[in-house]
């Protein structure tokens, strides 16, 4: 009988948190370890602006997610699993999840802001420490909770694992569509669809002048209408629609930088100081040194928050702000 990891490999399942890392590689690393203890974490910390697919999955398919967690425990030989739950979701969903979990699964309420959902930050939080990122490597699959191998997977990833185990996986993924979209919601569609196909299939091609942000409402990249036809989602399955006439790009930049400043850990100098400098530049509308800031943050930030934080600023400035102001 074909084992579960082989089936995961066969469909080439990639992580649905946005990292797009091959799921089977993580599972194999934890399973093959001879460590005395192993753990599993379901990352349900979803906290990015206008991103809500994991909430939808937990709300509608809690038993499938828990099945995925149990499969991870069994396949890797883990002694226990944790469901690390967004603090807002905790109030609403924790009691529902309790109906499906056993003694070997514990629900933990998320600590801290946006960065608290980074995989090593949540490991720190579960250990009882401040939710601050660790330097990687070592990666959690080798040294995670209390120094033992730990499998960290997103809610949707574990949902997909359960479907793969049931032979019900159809090469699909969840897409959340929000912002100024006419038909907001979460949709299950073929994972290889282009952005344009996703928008068409959900009746969300705007009748107004617009731009999109894909990959998350804080770390995602801006796309203009002419860029969506061939673009595949190599990122988080999130689309935010912006009505160009109603959207002040400077207010949008401020929203992003305030969200990221509030959600970071202040541990990493490039991220902390870089975001403060970006905020000053936005307030002064002077971006002369912005490329230097982007370079430093992207290359030297400790965790993904600082590295991907440059994406929305760089793409909005280049494609919208500078074009509007006839800058090069």
Residue 204, pLDDT score: 97
> For the chain, how big is the Rg over CA atoms in Å?
20
Q: Rounded to whole angstroms, how far apart are CA atoms 272 and 202? A: 38
Whole-number pLDDT of residue 301: 85
What are residue 179's DSSP bridge partners?
A: 241
The dihedral sign for the CA sequence 62, 64, 67, 71: negative
At 1 the pLDDT is: 37
Query: What pLDDT does residue 180 have?
Result: 97
CB 23 within 8 Å of CB 62 = no
The whole-number pLDDT of residue 328 equals 53
In this structure, the number of other CB atoms found within 10 A of the CB of residue 61 comes to 17
pLDDT at 267: 81
DSSP states along 36-51: S--EEEEEE---STT-
Number of C-beta neighbours around residue 231 at 10 A: 16
In degrees to the nearest 10, what's the CA dihedral of 197, 167, 163, 79? -150
User: What would the DSSP string read from start to end of 294-313?
Assistant: HHHHHHH-SSHHHHHTHHHH
List of the chain residues with pLDDT < 50: 1
Instruction: Kindly list the distances between the CA atom of residue 236 and the CA atoms of 215, 262, 268, in Å, as whole numbers in the listed order.
Output: 4, 21, 24
């Amino acid at each position: 009988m074909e084992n579960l990891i082989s089936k995961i490999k066969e469909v080439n399942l990639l992580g649905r948190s946005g990292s797009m890392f091959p799921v089977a590689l993580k599972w194999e690393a934890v399973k093959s370890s001879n460590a005395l203890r192993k753990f599993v974490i379901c990352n349900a910390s979803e906290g990015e602006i206008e991103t809500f697919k994991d909430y939808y999955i937990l709300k509608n398919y809690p038993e499938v997610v828990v099945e995925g967690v149990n499969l991870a425990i069994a396949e890797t030989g883990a002694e226990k699993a944790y469901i690390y739950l967004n603090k807002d979701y905790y109030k609403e969903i924790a009691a529902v999840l309790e109906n499906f979990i056993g003694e070997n699964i514990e629900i933990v309420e998320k600590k801290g802001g946006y960065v608290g959902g980074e995989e090593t930050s949540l490991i720190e939080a579960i250990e009882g420490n401040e939710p601050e990122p660790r330097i990687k490597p070592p990666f959690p699959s080798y040294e995670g909770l209390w120094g033992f191998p730990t499998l960290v997977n997103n809610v949707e990833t574990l949902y997909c694992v359960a479907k793969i185990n049931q032979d019900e996986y159809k090469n699909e993924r969840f897409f959340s569509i929000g912002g100024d979209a006419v038909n907001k919601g979460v949709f299950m569609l073929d994972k290889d669809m282009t952005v344009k196909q996703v928008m068409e299939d959900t009746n969300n091609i705007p009748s107004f002048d617009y731009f999109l942000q894909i990959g998350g409402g804080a770390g995602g990249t801006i796309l203009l209408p002419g860029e969506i036809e061939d673009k595949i989602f190599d990122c988080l399955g999130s689309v935010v629609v912006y009505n160009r006439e109603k959207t002040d790009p400077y207010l949008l930049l401020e929203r992003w930088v305030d969200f990221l400043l509030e959600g970071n850990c202040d541990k990493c100098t490039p991220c902390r100081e870089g975001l403060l400098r970006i905020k000053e530049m936005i307030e002064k509308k002077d971006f002369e040194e912005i490329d230097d800031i982007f370079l430093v943050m992207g290359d030297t930030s400790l965790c993904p928050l600082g590295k991907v934080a440059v994406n929305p600023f760089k793409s909005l400035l280049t494609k919208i702000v500078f074009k509007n102001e006839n800058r090069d």
